[in-house]
Structure 1
Amino acid sequence: MKKLAIALLGGTALAPAGAMAGELNLICSADVVVCEKLVGAFQGAHDGTTVNMVRLSSGEAYAKIRAEGRNPQTDLWWGGTGDPHLQAAADGLTEEYKSPMLDQLYPWAVKQAEVSGYRTVGVYSGALGWGYNKDIFASKGITPPACWKDLLDPALKGEIEIADPNSSGTAYTALATLVQLMGEDEAFAYLKELNNNVAQYTKSGSAPVKAAARGETGLGIVFQHDAVSQAVEGFPIVVGSPCEGTGYEIGSMSMVLGGPNPDEAKVFYDWVLTPEVQELMPEAGSFQIPSNASAKVPDEAPDLGSIKLIDYDFATYGSSDRRKELLARWDAEIGGRAAE
C-alpha cells in the first residue's frame, strides 16, 4: 500500500497511512498545486515511499534549513529562486551532489550547479515582470505600464502589490535586479518612491498577481509565468515586461547536508530532472522554462528570447554577505516605511 503524507503549512495529512518502503522529507517552494503534482507523481512512480512535504516560500525555506543546521530534518529542497539556494550552499547547509542527469540540462542550469560547488542545480527558469488587471486599469483610466519607471505613476497609488524580499525569492530577485539595473543608491531611491504606490508587501512571491486576478489590487510584480498562470485560468490579467530590462530566476533544487534520508533524496533529485517529469508542470498551471533540454517548453511560457534580460549576477547576489546587506537595507529603508 502507498502512504502519502503531505504537510501543507498546517501539517495536515492528505492521504491515509499504509506500509512504507522509504521516506522523504521535502520542502517545496513552488505554488502548492505544483508541489502536490510533483509529490503525487513521485508517489505513483515509487510505490510505498512516504513523502512528507511542506510548502514554504524561498526565504522561509532557507530559514528553516538554517535553523535545523545542527539536526537536519529536511532531505531535499525543491523550487524557489536560486539566490537563497546559493546562500544555503555558501553556508554549508547543503550537500554536494553531481546527478547523472547533469549532461541533459541547459547550460544555465549546469552553471548554477558549478557556481555552488554542485550543492544546488537549476530546475526551471523564468523572467521577472508583472501582471495587471486590465478591467481595473480600464475602469480607473490607468495607463498600462511599459517600464519600471511607469510603476511610479501617481495613478497607481494603492494599486501595486509585491512580496517582502525577506520571505520571497521573487521579491529578492526584484530587489537585486533593480540594484543591478540602476546602482544600489538609485535602486533604493526608486523603491522608496514605489512604496507610495504599494498597497501590501505579501509573504509569497506569486500572491500579488493572484490578488490582481481577484480584483483586490491593480498590479502584482511577479515572475511573468505566474501572471501567465492567472491569464490561462481566465482572469483578466495582462503580462508585462519592463522596457529597461529585467532579471530572471533559476529555480533551483538542493539536497540538505546530513538529511535523514539521503538515498531517497537522490532518487527524487534525479527523477525530477527528467524531461517526462518536467513536462508535467503545465498540468499544474506552471509555465516556466524547464531545465532539461529535451523537455518541451510550454506553449504559454513567456519567450525569454523576446524579453530584455539583464546579465543577472547569480554568484554575487546569491552570496550570503551580499544578500544579507541588501535585506538589511531594505528592512531599514523600505520595510520600516511600509509599516508606518
Structure 2
Amino acid sequence: MMSPSRPPAFARPSFRQPSRLLACTAALAVLTTASFAAHAQTKTLYIGMNGGNMEKTYTQFVFGPFEQKNNVKVVVVPGGSSDILAKAQAAKDKPQMHVMFLDDGVMYRAIGMGLCEKQKPNPGLAGLLPVAHIKDDMATGVTISMTGLAYNTKVYADKGWAPPTSWLDMADPKLKGKLVFQSLSSSTFGLHAFLAFNKLKGGTDSNVEPGFSAWPKTIGPNVVEYIASSAKISEMAQTGEAALFPYTPTQVTILKSKGIPVEYVQPKEGAVVLMVAQCVIANNSEPQLAQELAAYLLSPEAQGKALENGSFNPTNTKVQVTGPAAAEQKRMNEFLKNSRAVDWDEINKNRAVWNTRWNRTIER
C-alpha cells in the first residue's frame, strides 16, 4: 500500500503568518486610536474680527504658530465692530467667542458692558505703546493707524488741483458733489473726521456744537453721499465719484494694491489715532487658551507677520522687520507723531445723542 504523499511545500499550512497579521492589526489599531484621540483633543477658539484683508492675513499668516504649539484651531467670526459687539452682548451669559477685535471706541463700550476680562501679565504687554493699554489692560491695541484724508489722484490730476493738506479742504467749494463721507452713526472714520473739523471750529470731544453748527454751510454742500461703511469707497473711487474722503493709510494701501488711483494725506493739523483692540471675552469656555492667544497676538512675532503680510502697523515697539514692511512701519510711526487720541469715555457718553442729531439734521 502506497503511503500518502506529503502536500507540496507551498500548500503547507502556516501558523506564524496569522500571528504576525494579528500583531500588525493590533499595532495599527493602537496608532489609529491614538490618532483619533489626538484629533479629538484639538480645541477650537473663536475670534471675532473684521473680514476681508484682516481675516485673510491673520488666518493665513499669523495664527499658524500658535495653533501648532497649542494643538488648537483658531476660527474667525467675521464682522464689523458693531456686529461683533452685538454678538458678544447677545451671548454674554454663554459666550460663543473667546477673543474679539473691535475698533478702540467700540472696545471702550464693550468694557463698560462687562464683556471683557483683564489680560494676564505676559511679555508682549511690556513692549506696547502707552496708548495701546486700554483701561488697565482690560483690552489692548493690536494694530494702530490713524484717520486722515484720502484723495483720488486721477480726479485731482484731471482737474489740475493741488493735493489736499488740511481737514478744512473738505469744505473747499470746488469739491461740491465730490466728497464722500462715512456716516457719523456707523463709522469710526466719519466720527474721527467730524471731531477733527469740530476741533478746528473750537469744539472739544465733549462739545460738538461748533461742528454741527458749521457743517450745513461748509462741508455739507460738498457731500455727494453719506455711506454706512467704507466698503463702498472702492467702487466710488474707481468711477471718480469720490474725489476726497476720510480714510487710513492702511486702507489706502489696500486700494492702491487693486490699482485704484488714491493717495493718503496726513492733515497738517494732525490725524486721529485709530486702533483695533482685542479683549479676552469674559466667562468664555477656554479662559487659559484665550489668554494665551491674546498674549501671542501682542508678541513681536505675531505683529511682525501681520505687518509684513497685511500692512497692519504694530502696537508692540519691539517688532523688527526689513524691506518694504520696515519702510511702511517707519512711515506710520512718523504719522503717529502728528496724531491725537480722542477721549472715548467722553465721546461714548454722548454718542447716542450725537447720532440722533446727525441723522435728523445732517442726513435728513
User: Which TM-score bucket, shorter chain as reference?
Assistant: 0.7 to 0.9
Aligned to 2:118, the other structure's residue is in SS state: coil
Tell me how far apart the structure 1 counterparts of residues 214 and 82 of structure 2 sit (CA, whole Å): 23
Tell me, yes or no, if the aligned pair for 1:129 and 1:242 is still in contact at 8 Å. yes
Deviation at 1:97, TM superposition (A): 1.4
Q: Does 1:120 align with 2:146?
A: no
Task: Name the aligned partner's letter for residue 142 of structure 2.
Answer: V
Tell me how far apart the structure 1 counterparts of residues 95 and 167 of structure 2 sit (CA, whole Å): 41
Tell me how far apart the structure 2 counterparts of residues 188 and 322 of structure 1 sit (CA, whole Å): 15
Q: Runs of 5+ in structure 1 lacking a partner?
A: 1-17
Equivalent residue in structure 1 for 2:338, among 297, 309, 314 = 309
Equivalent residue in structure 2 for 1:186, among 188, 205, 210 = 210
Q: Give the structure 2 partner of residue 4 of structure 1.
A: none
Deviation at 1:242, TM superposition (A): 1.5
The alignment covers a number of residue pairs equal to 311
Q: Does 1:33 align with 2:53?
A: yes
Q: Deviations over 1:175-228 (max 9, x none)?
A: 444444530211223444323222333333465366425644222211223223
Aligned to 2:165, the other structure's residue is in SS state: coil
Tell me, yes or no, if the aligned pair for 2:237 and 2:260 is still in contact at 8 Å. no
The residue correspondences of 1:150-189 to structure 2 (distance < 5 A) are 150-181=169-200, 182-183=202-203, 184-189=208-213
Aligned to 1:280, the other structure's residue is in SS state: helix
Deviation at 1:143, TM superposition (A): 4.4
Tell me, yes or no, if the aligned pair for 1:23 and 1:261 is still in contact at 8 Å. no
Q: Give the structure 2 partner of residue 6 of structure 1.
A: none
Task: Name the aligned partner's letter for residue 126 of structure 2.
Answer: D
Equivalent residue in structure 1 for 2:120, among 81, 86, 98 = 98
- TM-score when normalising by structure 1: 0.79
Question: Larger % of helix: which?
Answer: 2
Tell me how far apart the structure 1 counterparts of residues 129 and 188 of structure 2 sit (CA, whole Å): 22
Q: Deviations over 1:52-95 (max 9, x none)?
A: 322222233333323333332221112x4311112211222211
Task: Name the aligned partner's letter for residue 108 of structure 2.
Answer: L
- TM-score when normalising by structure 2: 0.75
Q: Give the structure 1 partner of residue 291 of structure 2.
A: 266
Deviation at 1:272, TM superposition (A): 1.1
Identity level (%): 23
Tell me how far apart the structure 1 counterparts of residues 315 and 54 of structure 2 sit (CA, whole Å): 16
Q: Give the structure 1 partner of residue 107 of structure 2.
A: 85
Tell me how far apart the structure 2 counterparts of residues 190 and 224 of structure 1 sit (CA, whole Å): 27
Cα gap change, 1:185 to 1:337, in 2 (>3 Å)? closer
Q: Give the structure 2 partner of residue 42 of structure 1.
A: 63
Q: Give the structure 2 partner of residue 3 of structure 1.
A: none
Q: Give the structure 1 partner of residue 78 of structure 2.
A: 55
- Which of 94-103 and 231-240 deviates more? 231-240
Cα gap change, 1:19 to 1:219, in 2 (>3 Å)? farther
Equivalent residue in structure 1 for 2:316, among 292, 301, 317 = 292
- Which of 84-93 and 209-218 deviates more? 209-218
Structure number with greater Rg is 2
Tell me, yes or no, if the aligned pair for 1:134 and 1:236 is still in contact at 8 Å. yes
Tell me, yes or no, if the aligned pair for 2:146 and 2:339 is still in contact at 8 Å. no
Deviation at 1:240, TM superposition (A): 1.1
Aligned to 2:100, the other structure's residue is in SS state: strand
Q: Deviations over 1:259-278 (max 9, x none)?
A: 23323322221111111211
Q: Runs of 5+ in structure 2 lacking a partner?
A: 1-38
